[in-house]
């Protein structure tokens, strides 16, 4: 408990602002984006997913985030590996951040119900910006915007920068009396990239803390996920609760018969948005999830309470058909 309180205090030395990296409302589906120790944290052997998020597209040149991740765990060894690709585009200037990251994790079984996992992440971060679509004050002729007028902004130009990225984290899980876990991670270790001329746009270290608690009740189940992120002076707080109903039957010692499930949930981003969600899982193999940010912050005056949708599609595969499903 003391360790948990210490981790929370480290994250909370900041104002209530938002993280500077791309973030997903369905953060519980892309665990190793927030903590490399989460790679391979599933019952299946292989899991792959794609995610698409579009923010504020109705009234603004919004933020579009695409994510792809695949992860696999070794059945006879305590190792897991994963690949994560995130492409984020922001606003008129096409400020883009592309990240391709490889995660690896090692699981240490403390006892039958407790596990401690350490993870490491290595990859490439590419950041770019295009200036031609920006509008400047000097380009207004007194009546309207005139693109033929010289902006006079000589210090800005299109730029691209690449940098090797490092991250690491730990995650602790237990299964009794309920299934739960908590972890802490650092991202962008040693990152000092700047690509704007005379800019101070270095990508600062991102700290993240993630946890969950879940319990099954026959055909019903409930799960609560929480995320806290800190990046320089920016903070993000996210919680999500979902409840599911499972129908069909599972084979006791094989995967020949697998049940399906439907679920609904609701998330909350501190001082920003409410995030309703729903999803369907087919025979523990294919899952589709949809969520929508309803913005209630001051930004809602521009977005008309529409933060934007997020869609996820996940495929799960198990090789050992003798493995019993919980």
Secondary structure class of 37 (helix, strand, coil): helix
Per-residue pLDDT tens for 128-160? 877 666 777 777 877 777 777 777 665 555 667
The DSSP code sequence of 70-130 is EEEE-SSSSEEEEEEEEEEEETTTTEEEEEEEEEEEEEEEEETTEEEEEEEEEEEEEEEE-
Q: pTM of whole model > 0.85? A: no
Residue 323's pLDDT is what?
47
Residue 13 confidence (pLDDT): 38
Mean pLDDT by groups of 10 residues along the chain of 326 residues: 40 40 89 95 92 72 85 91 92 77 95 94 86 72 76 63 89 92 91 54 82 92 95 88 92 74 96 94 95 77 67 89 50
The pLDDT value given to residue 130 = 73
Q: How far is CA 292 from CA 30, 34, 63, 200, in A?
A: 17, 20, 14, 33
**How many residues comprise the chain?**
326
Of 324, 317, 304, nearest to 44 by C-alpha is: 317
Return phi, psi of residue 19, to 5°. -65, 155
The strand pairing partners of 114, in sequence order, are 111, 174
Cα 290 vs. chain centroid, distance in angstroms?
A: 15
How many C-beta atoms surround the C-beta of residue 216 within 10 A? 14
Phi, psi of 27 (to 5 degrees): -60, -25
**Which domains are assigned to the chain?**
2-317 (2.40.160.40)
Q: What is the pLDDT of residue 104?
A: 97
């Amino acid at each position: 408990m003391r360790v948990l309180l210490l981790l929370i205090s480290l994250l909370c030395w900041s104002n209530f602002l938002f993280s500077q990296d791309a973030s997903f409302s369905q953060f519980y589906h892309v665990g190793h984006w927030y903590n490399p120790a989460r790679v391979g944290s599933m019952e299946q052997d292989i899991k792959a997913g794609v995610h698409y998020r579009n923010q504020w597209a109705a009234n603004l040149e919004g933020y579009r985030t695409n994510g792809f991740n695949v992860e696999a765990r070794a059945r006879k060894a305590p190792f897991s590996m994963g690949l994560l690709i995130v492409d984020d585009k922001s606003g008129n200037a096409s400020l883009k951040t592309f990240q391709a990251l490889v995660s690896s994790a090692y699981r240490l079984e403390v006892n039958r119900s407790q596990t401690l996992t350490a993870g490491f992440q290595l990859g490439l971060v590419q950041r770019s910006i295009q200036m031609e679509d920006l509008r400047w004050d000097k380009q207004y002729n007194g009546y309207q915007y005139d693109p033929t007028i010289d902006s006079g902004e000589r210090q800005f130009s299109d730029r691209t920068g690449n940098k090797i990225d490092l991250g690491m984290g730990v995650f602790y899980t237990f299964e009794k009396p309920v299934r739960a876990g908590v972890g802490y991670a650092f991202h962008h270790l040693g990152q000092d990239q700047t690509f704007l001329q005379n800019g101070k746009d270095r990508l600062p270290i991102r700290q993240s803390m993630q946890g969950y608690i879940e319990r099954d009740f026959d055909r019903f189940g409930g799960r609560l996920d929480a995320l806290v992120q800190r990046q320089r002076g920016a903070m993000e707080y996210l919680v999500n609760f979902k409840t599911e109903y499972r129908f069909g039957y599972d084979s006791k010692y094989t995967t020949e018969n697998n049940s399906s499930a439907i679920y609904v949930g609701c998330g909350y981003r501190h001082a920003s948005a409410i995030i309703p969600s729903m999803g369907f899982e087919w025979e523990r193999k294919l899952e589709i999830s949809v969520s929508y940010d309803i913005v209630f912050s001051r930004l809602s005056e521009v977005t008309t309470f529409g933060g934007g949708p997020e869609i996820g599609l996940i495929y799960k595969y198990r090789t050992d058909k003798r493995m019993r499903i919980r």
